[in-house]
Structure 1
Amino acid sequence: MNERRRTVAPFKLSNVCVEIGLMRSRDDFVVGWRGPRNGVDFLVDPFNATCKLVFTKETAFSFKGEAKHTVIKCNFKIEFVPREINEIKRYKDFSSMIILLQLASSPLVYYRTADDDIEESVPFDLLDDDDPWIRTTDFTPSGAIGRCNIYRVSVRPRNGPSLNNAIAYLQKHRVPVLNNSPELRVRDEPDFGVPVPDPVFCIQYKEGITFKILFLVNAVMHRGIINQHQMSDEFFHLLRIQPEKVNLVALKHIWSLKHPSYDACKTLGFVQKWLLKNPKLLEEPRELNDIVEVRRLIVTPTKAYCLPPEVELSNRVLRNYKNVADRFLRITFMDEGMQTLNKNVLTYYASGIVRDITSNSNPQRTSMFKRVKDILSNGFYLCGRKYSFLAFSANQLRDRSAWFFAEDKNIVVPNIKSWMGKFTSRNVAKCAARMGQCFSSTYATVEVPETEVDSTLPDILRNGYDFSDGIGKISTELAMRVAEKLQLTVNRPCAYQIRYAGCKGVVACWPAKNDGIHLYLRPSMKKFESNHTILEICSWTRFQPGFLNRQIITLLSALDVKDDIFWKMQETMVSRLDRMLVDTDLAFDVLTASCAEQGNTAAIMLSAGFKPQSEPHLSGMLTSIRAAQLGDLRERARIFVPSGRWLMGCLDELGILGQGQCFVQVSNPSLEDCFVKHGSKFSETNKNLQVIQGLVAIAKNPCLHPGDVRILEAVDIPRLNHLYDCLVFPQNGDRPHTNEASGSDLDGDLYFVTWDENLIPPSKRSWVPMDYASGEVKSLPRDVKHSDIIEFFSKNMVNESLGTICNAHVVHADLSEDGALDEKCIKLAELAATAVDFPKTGKIVTMPAVLKPKLYPDFMGKREFQSYRSSKILGKLYRKIKDAYDEDYEASSGAAFASKEIPYDRDLEIPGSASFIADAWNCKCTYDGQLNCLLGQYKVNREEEVVTGHIWSMPKYSGKKRGELKERLKHAYNTLKKDFRKVFESMDVSDFDDLSDDEKNVIYEMKASAWYQVTYHPRWVQKSRELQVPDGVGETVMLSFAWIAADYLARIKFRCRGTKNVESNKPINHLGSYLADKI
């Protein structure tokens, strides 16, 4: 048990002087705010690993509903953790010792006072030691806590021993400390103390500077690379005299630097000259359909951050308004350090004595809530534009994110909403969700006229349930057209998650009548009126490997699946990951079984005979996959299940399946599919499908109730054989199995499915499912207004409690002998079901105090709370992996190949490639520049992480935020790779289209060889190093460019290697056998 309270005393430095400011140059400190002359204490507290500045300050308060103000003494606390300190510099002057702390992000600001920081104020003064510390916004007049990241702390000589102990403690936590720094000049900033009126501090306007450039200038300033005092007239002059495309790339590069610049003009000028000298780095990627550049603004309690535009999947609204796409902005409300904004930052409960006197047990709302509400209601100015709230999707609501739009004289927010559709629901939650449908990330495919759509396919209703909720049908012909548009011509999907007009859900392939109808939609799919007729695709059925997670393990364990089963599965997985760097057969199996299509490049390289010991890019990919999967084991108990998949839910439209049955047919990936474009010889690949028969366990996240795991019988129904990589449910029975599993439906939910006998509970039966009937929906007596949507968004931020409930469930399941069967867990599962539906119903969930955990198991990693050593299976799995992973993480982070160590494979140098070299070099420069930008933007160490989609070095933001960032990065890289694959496939060769397949392939091989040479040949490696800005960032040479053409390089290697003396029965050699008579 973690019971250290106050056995560890904090290092306390009393009566220090504190100044917050910025560095104008390396030895010039500009003060933005100065603390009180007396009574400031600086504490470094090993107990909870925090640093605090604590002091008392008089503060003026206004009382709600009254004009008068009162001045009250408040205790303020500025708090940060050691990992947020970039570096400490030590100085001395005549009378004190000085430390200069540079913070990576703004600290947390608290205060404690009688009136507290509330909107609904208590109408009398009450100062009490039991008052809680309340989170607040920046209390300095000029917004110095948000703007400035340098803290100058002057310590009296008598506190010298405490200071040395505090510094030693921080050094143990890897904080760099520089002693005997040169003298520091200190002065007030020119506008010291001048109030900042806007909620977003930024440079609003500079003559001759376009919006795109000004937005990036603010992004660089908000990140702290160049601060406002360095942005002189000369700095803006440098921007004015260069073309916009030079400045865009230059500012993105500067934004991605790891350390602040102390000379803005020198840095900008240097990068501009570097780009002008290497114009290849300026080439813009070709525009792809469905891809859009999105600008983001992160708003925290003390500041706001502009983020450089990111490439992401577009949506219906942005596609229609693409000419003003740069006027859309995504706002996300977060806590400092890019952490999730918990509701305790927005609300708090008064101390016990206040509640006793006022009989008010409702939470009070803090000034951060007021800041959020002000931005939502009144908008804000950024780069000279006024942004107003527009709408949000369901995912954005969970992430506390929303779309804003900068209106102009032609387009205003009501115009956009009117174009989106007619939203008649008088329930605010439903109305908001339906508007959000238009902002779902989708691929626009083909137009389907209303004459080809039947919107009256009847729903299958029984016993008060809808067995077909959210699913329709698509004709084979239309499905093929959609697949071609999405370039999914191999193993075409059999079902799509769609948006069409005001409908949402899934459509599965079924033979159509010859009546011209290609799309069949049910009433349950229609959410609002719209005349939009493009069929938009969110996702589709495909091979998705099966992995367990903590929730599923908790439920299976409660249903008597033995601990040994999970233990052995993790041991097997770890053993395979450990051996994959030396055993190529095993590495191949890991890649093809557990990495989906993201492992294809590495698998092709292994098949062709490349070895990780001599091929650095292959080694880097395998290392990244290993590190990421080990990390997921530690953080999420994400154990690979060979006999399992994640599958989209579909319906047996024929009515053959009975209650308790399902149909499951899964594909097994084949590398042969990667060669299908090489000509007609390669097009006849085997689908490699497997029909599962016997008992299966299914679950859908979140799953907290033991009845959420359903045990079904998978049966073989030949008439359903056209459906694969999906879970087909029956339309017969008393209650839909979808509804039994976490109250889900068929509008796109993914289900974990396993046919591993060891994971089927010994009873072979499902637990009684929970009742997921949604509560009564509140409706307004009038139409929903824009202000109602804003109120709903802010109300959700305060009341969103699903994460808290799920965490509490983990704790109580871990503490109880009964696990997830414990009555507290059952209650929490019921609360979670209501919380999940909040975006649809608006029904608020309050977790009873008795269910709030006091302690957390060690595997949850909640350092800020007291913890205990878990004796359950999740604790055992966590501790087994933790030590090995921590050591491995350190090893992996420094495991990059140095440039001079890159071996060059002469097998891949073929005659005829020389004519492609010049073009290849230009392409590589462009590709590397864009990939480097992605690595810098997402703070990822290695290109192999991005290439494989196994990202492990990203900073440890809160789990949900990190997951979202990983998905955005994967999507951005996939877009980049697709773009350059198109470049590779486009040939500037006369009469190329008239050539035979074999002749085309010879030319493609020459081009692939050229791409390899400019990446690996020592002469070109040296040129790549010369291209890099000497800022300490680019020590490694990028190698992934060559492997965009991995299929053609593999052909060359296969021919050099030959297929004699190769064991054809080994999976790693199947590809060679397949290609042997074709190349």
Structure 2
Amino acid sequence: MSSNTLAACVDKIIEFAPRWQPTSEKSNDEDWNDEEEEEEEDGDKEDDKEKRANDESTIRTYHVLPPLYSATGKPLNTATSTSVTIDLSRIKLKDLYHSNNDRIGSLSRLLCLGLFELRRKHQLNQTISGIYLTKQEMRAFKSKEIFSIRKVFITPSTIQYEGPHFEEACAVIRYFSKFQDCFLRVSFRDEDYRKLKDINNSMDILFKHIKSLITDGLNICDRKYKFLAFSTSQLREHSCWMFHQQHTNNISCETIREWMGDFQNIHPVAKMAARLGQSFSTTIKGKELSKESYIEIDDVTSPIDRKVLYTDGIGIIASWFADELSKQMNFDSTPSAFQIRFAGYKGMVCVSLEDKIANDSKIRVAFRPSMKKFDSDNCSIDIVRSSDFSLSYLNRQIILLLSSRHISDSVFHHFQDEMLEKLMSINTNAERAIETLWKFNGNTGGNGTHKMMIEYLSRFQLNTEPFVQQLLFHFQAFQLKQLRTKARILIENGCVLLGVTDESRTLKREQVFIQIHRSDINETKIIQGPVIVTRNPCLHPGDIRRYEAVDNLQLHKLKNVIVFPMDGPRSMTAELAGGDLDGDTFWISWDSRLIFTKNYTAFCYSDQARQANESTSNTSKQSYTIADVCRFFVEYMKADNLGIIATWHLALADLYGVEYEECMRLAAMHSIAVDFVKTGNRPPSLTKDLQPNTYPHFMEKKDKPYHVSTSILGQLYDE
């Protein structure tokens, strides 16, 4: 069942629990008979077709792990899995309630009762892709603009068809929703369904085949799917969109691209491809803007170098209009910033510090030239995401950088011990379990399963029920796996926030403003004192910086964002692993144990980007075609070595430190590889002198020579 169906079952349990506790056998039987008669009366009023669909959808087989303990507390055999068949049409409530089967825990029995009640009220829809869907859930799908999309995975030897799957909409699918069954997500994978790796010249035949599929299209039954576009994230995952043109309408790939915007005279081809993919970002539809309701204002540049932008990718939104958007999207409060897509603009808009924009109360949004990517007539301001508080976790890259800044190994051991203690206490009692679930999920409370666990434990105060025990066990196992394989350690005195710029121009160089609001504990506070800030991924020792967090009365309006100053020879965001303000998130911590004394000289990412732009600007100014975009897609797949660079850097940095010469070279190459999707500038080829001879044991490279690591990462892995 889906998480929403599970939530509906929990609501039914809470609603009907008193009726499911009979006082006597006789009265109990009378209650069951009354409900069965009521079911028959309700059924006569329903459409026969819907009733047949519901009846067919009630017989399901679930493959579940056996409960750790029975309802009576007896331990059960956990060596094998159990197949449980539930026929809701034949379930008798009294049989379920009085069942003495130890393999069905009390909550599991209540869930069956909840499913029965949903079916009796005709609130279960026919199954889609083997998932129970409630009517409330279907309405939620419509309100959230969730669409069903077919997917295809192409490997060197097979083609795997999947779906349709529910996904959040993008601007293109939202506009062409009548033809959503004509869209197809295509992913190119290895036989294990991971990205292709160890690419070499012997794979030319494979890439020739991929190129033919991208260029000529994909035939599935009586349909011909042709290449449409891909987003930046899809390109990194070797995926793209295809579309089937039906003979009954005039909608084609060319028609869709014309609706998206004008992409002529965009150079190089990588940038053109990125602009095509801009309309495929997952968004929530906002409001239509008339030409009189928005303006374009100048970017703010450094007085020392006019090519340095303090406002790269960020604009301003009127506070009253931000309130309207938040109300439309059912937010509990108005965020301080939104990541948006609008008429060829992309980036962030931050709530105005003043009552009006440009002294005009009619202006809703002010964009900047750095946000304009192409011309488009699509005048709906769509929301990618909004500013919010997120928990911060250490990872291997951040730990190595902090270790290079002379943070003691004992500090990381202490953080890991604290996290392990919290995870181990999850089975102690309900209160500790709830506390741990909240700590590891922040404002949101986590996904549907985590919310259900918190709700159940809060109401029933019992964590020994087998089903909940299973969920808690899997949550614990997942966190431990992340801890072991990624050194993902929770930092309570930290957060991850979207970055914005100081429109008041009152912050000084090396200063930031951070005001966090946590709705889960109803706490708002302004961080003051030294903080460390970085942006993932971070490989260069200068990618992590120490700043001073200050209070600033003019910025109190901004919450759950990190505000950077408009001061200094270059943008502070560019020093943080080459970041900007078009939607980048920044890792922040004010824990005194992680604060180092001196910053390492920052790598000049802006100079590297400028050189890349100059090299690509020398190419021909001819207009590119979709065939050129298809060719670039295959070229990127062949040259994609981002993962290899990061792996080699980690192995060498573990032995010699991040300031090792080869590590510095790999860090520079990594930056070029990250921007390859936008610049088309290939990273330099990896040479033998950069390849590690052995890999640390914590990387678990079973097919490679390894050494036992004695660094902090090796110590944390072995602990």
Aligning the two structures, in what range does the TM-score lie when normalised by the shorter sequence?
Answer: 0.7 to 0.9
Q: CA deviation at 1:602?
A: 4.1
Q: Which residue of 2 aligns with 1:636?
A: 486
- Unaligned stretches of 5+ residues in structure 1: 1-241, 259-269, 349-363, 672-686, 881-1079
Larger Rg: 1
**Aligned match of 1:650:** 500
Measure the CA separation in 1 of the matches of 2:363 and 2:198.
49
Structure 1 residue 408 corresponds to structure 2 residue 251: no
Q: Secondary structure at the match of 2:156?
A: coil
1:55-106: CA deviations, max 9, x gaps?
A: xxxxxxxxxxxxxxxxxxxxxxxxxxxxxxxxxxxxxxxxxxxxxxxxxxxx
Structure 2 counterpart of 1:765, from 588, 592, 599: 599
Q: CA deviation at 1:581?
A: 1.4
1:610 corresponds to 2:449: no
782-791 or 405-414, larger mean C-alpha shift: 405-414
Q: How does 1:529-928 map to 2 (within 5 A)?
A: 529-596=375-442, 597-599=444-446, 601-603=452-454, 605-608=456-459, 610-613=461-464, 615-616=465-466, 618-670=468-520, 687-761=522-596, 763-773=597-607, 774=609, 775=612, 776=614, 777-778=616-617, 779-816=619-656, 819-845=657-683, 846-880=685-719
Q: Contact 1:709–1:741 at 8 Å: present in 2 too?
A: yes
2:280 partner SS: coil
- Per the alignment, in what secondary structure is the counterpart of residue 837 of structure 1? helix
Query: 2:287 is matched by which residue type in structure 1?
Result: V
CA distance in 2, matches of 1:254, 1:366: 45
- Given that 1:446 and 1:481 are in contact with CA atoms closer than 8 Å, whether structure 2 keeps it comes out as no
User: TM-score of the superposition, structure 1-length normalised?
Assistant: 0.52
Does the 8 Å contact 1:460/1:468 carry over to 2? yes
Q: 1:436 aligns with which of 274, 277, 280?
A: 277
Asked whether 1:475 is paired with 2:330, we answer no
Aligned-pair distance for 1:272?
A: 14
User: How far 1:518 sits from its partner (Å)?
Assistant: 0.9
1:343–1:800 Cα contact (<8 Å) kept = no
Give how far 1:495 is off.
0.7
> Is contact 2:429–2:462 with CA below 8 Å preserved after alignment?
no
Aligned residue pairs, count: 590
Q: Which residue of 2 aligns with 1:417?
A: 257
Gaps in structure 2 of 5+ consecutive residues: 1-48, 66-85, 91-115, 127-133
- Pair 1:608–1:380, CA change in 2 (3 A): closer
1:317 maps to which residue?
172
Distance 1:257 1:323 in 2: 38
> In structure 2, the residue corresponding to 1:646 is in which secondary structure?
strand
Distance (Å, rounded) in 1 between the aligned partners of 2:366 and 2:529: 32
The amino acid that maps onto 1:823 is: E
Distance 2:147 2:125 in 1: 21
Contact 1:742 1:772 (C-alpha < 8 Å) held by counterparts = no
Which residue number in structure 1 is paired with residue 206 of structure 2? 368
Aligned to 2:228: 390
CA deviations 1:305-328 (Å, max 9, x no partner) are 011211111101101110011000
Give the structure 1 partner of residue 188 of structure 2: 333
Is the contact made by 1:545 and 1:644 (CA closer than 8 Å) also made in structure 2?
Answer: yes
Task: Name the CA shift for 1:450/1:624 in 2 (closer, same or farther; >3 Å).
Answer: farther
Secondary structure of the 2:321 match is helix
Q: Which moved more, 1:871-880 or 1:399-408?
A: 871-880
Q: Say whether residues 1:466 and 2:309 are aligned partners.
A: yes
User: What do the CA deviations read for 1:511-555 (whole angstroms, capped 9, x no partner)?
Assistant: 324430010111000000011111111111112111111111111
1:460 partner amino acid: T
In 1, Cα distance between equivalents of 2:606 and 2:509: 19
Q: Secondary structure at the match of 2:184?
A: strand
How well do the aligned residues superpose, as a CA RMSD in angstroms?
2.9
Query: Which of 456, 481, 496 lines up with 2:297 in the alignment?
Result: 456
Q: Distance in 2 between matches of 1:602 and 1:722?
A: 35
* Kept after mapping to 2: 8 A contact 1:296/1:307: yes
Secondary structure in 2 aligned to 1:337?
coil
* Partner AA of 1:721 in structure 2: H
Distance 1:594 1:256 in 2: 28
Which whole-Å deviations, capped at 9, do the CAs of 1:546-569 have from their partners, x for residues lacking one? 111111111111111111111110
CA-to-aligned-CA distance 1:296-350 (integer Å, 9 cap, x gap): 0000000010112111111011011100110000000000121221252xx33xx
For 1:810 and 1:866, locate their aligned partners in 2 and report how far apart those are by CA, in whole Å: 15
Distance 1:331 1:748 in 2: 26
Work out the CA distance in 2 between the residues paired with 1:296 and 1:572. 42
SS in 1 for 2:427: coil
Per the alignment, do residues 578 and 271 of structure 1 end up closer, same or farther by CA in structure 2, a change over 3 Å counting?
closer
Change (3 A) 1:566 1:257: closer
CA contact (8 A) 1:376 1:388 kept: yes
Aligned to 2:327: 484
Counterpart Cα distance in 2 of 1:794 and 1:255:
41
Say which is worse superposed, 522-531 or 839-848, in terms of deviation. 839-848
The correspondence of residues 1000-1019 of structure 1 with structure 2, limited to 5 A, is none
SS at match of 2:227: strand
CA contact (8 A) 2:326 2:334 kept: yes
> Residues of 2 paired with 1:483 and 1:735: CA distance?
34
Kindly provide the amino acid, as one letter, of the partner of residue 485 in structure 1.
Answer: Q
Query: In the superposition, relative to structure 1, how do residues 385 and 642 fare at CA in structure 2: closer, same or farther (>3 Å)?
Result: same
Q: Tell me how far 1:585 sits from its aligned partner.
A: 4.3
Of the three residues 153, 158, 173, the one matched with 1:303 is 158
SS of corresponding position for 1:376 = helix
Which stretch shows the higher mean deviation, 431-440 or 366-375? 366-375
SS of residue paired to 1:477? helix
1:37-48 residue pairs with structure 2 within 5 A? none
Matched, 1:508 2:347: no
Give secondary structure in 2 for the equivalent of 1:295.
strand
8 A Cα contact 1:705 1:770, kept in partner? no
Contact 2:344 2:375 in 1 (8 A): yes
Offset of residue 854 of structure 1: 3.1
Alpha-carbon distance in structure 1 between the residues aligned to 2:637 and 2:298: 38
Q: Quick one: which amino acid aligns to residue 453 of structure 1?
A: Y
Output the amino acid matched with 1:611: L
User: Do the aligned partners of residues 383 and 598 (structure 1) sit closer, same or farther apart at CA in structure 2, a change above 3 Å counting?
Assistant: farther
Partner of 1:189: none
Higher RCO (CA < 8 A, seq sep 6+): 2
Amino acid in structure 2 at the alignment position of 1:423: F
Paired letter, 2:461 = F
**Deviation of residue 486 (structure 1)?**
1.6
Structure 1: distance between partners of 2:239 and 2:257: 18
One-letter code aligned to 2:478: A
Q: For the structure 1 residues 635 and 652, does the alpha-carbon distance in structure 2 shift closer, same or farther, using more than 3 Å as the test?
A: same
> Is contact 1:295-1:308 (8 Å) kept?
yes
TM-superposed deviation, 1:480: 1.0
Q: What are the superposed Cα offsets for residues 740-789 of structure 1, whole Å, 9 maximum, x if unpaired? A: 0011100111111000111112x243443344421122443311101000
Secondary structure of 2:483's aligned partner: helix
Q: 1:199-238 alignment to 2 at 5 Å?
A: none
SS in 1 for 2:206: helix
**TM-score scaled by length of structure 2:** 0.78
For the pair 1:518 / 2:364, whether they are aligned, the reply is yes
Aligned to 1:447: 288
Letter in 1 for 2:497: L
Counterpart CA distance in 1 for 2:700 and 2:599 is 34
- In structure 1, C-alpha distance between the alignment counterparts of 2:195 and 2:321, rounded to whole Å: 42
